[in-house]
Structure 1
């Protein structure tokens, strides 16, 4: 079930992303520094593809599989996701 797009902040998305990435990397969310490139943690293409699928499932926003490399940190990815959610809402889409 998609998460409602209203009320999201960079902080809430950063937390969600850190928790999800930590799960893929078998780490604790607190171990994921939002300013460290995800590749430095060993995020691979399989995990990146899974992350895109989770974003699409939870937020009802389509993400390209390259998003983890285009926005290589949790903060960068959260900012991009927030912008995508805002654009989707502005266009009348979203949950």
Structure 2
């Protein structure tokens, strides 16, 4: 698995689209996720999904500190272990 911000962006778009019940094509990388209706419960679930998929623990508040797909993907990718 390629652990990059690019991979994370695509994966995050799919997750966010599922949680806010919009087509993935409508989720822009530069729009604050709260504008799509992502709430604190969804933020917690996204962070749990990241831990399950990528093996890193991310605090849900990180989504509010890094509120777009682009900024959050960059933040999370900085916490991923180096690729082998």
Following TM superposition, by how much is the alpha carbon of 1:41 offset from its aligned partner in structure 2, in angstroms? 0.7
Aligned to 2:53: 58
Unaligned runs of 5+ in 2: none
CA distance in 2 between counterparts of 1:32 and 1:81 reads: 18
After the TM superposition, list the runs of 4 or more consecutive aligned residues in structure 1 that deviate by more than 6 angstroms: none
Q: Deviations over 1:36-88 (max 9, x none)?
A: 00011111000000001000000000000101101100000110111111xx3
Aligned partner of residue 82 in structure 2, secondary structure? helix
How far is 1:11 from its partner?
A: 1.7
Q: TM-score under structure 2 normalisation?
A: 0.92
1:89 equivalent in alignment to 2:67: no
Q: RMSD of aligned C-alpha atoms?
A: 1.3
- What is the TM-score with the length of structure 1 in the denominator? 0.82
Unaligned ranges ≥5, structure 1: 91-95
Aligned residues between the structures: 83
The structure whose Rg is larger is 1
Partner of 2:37: 42
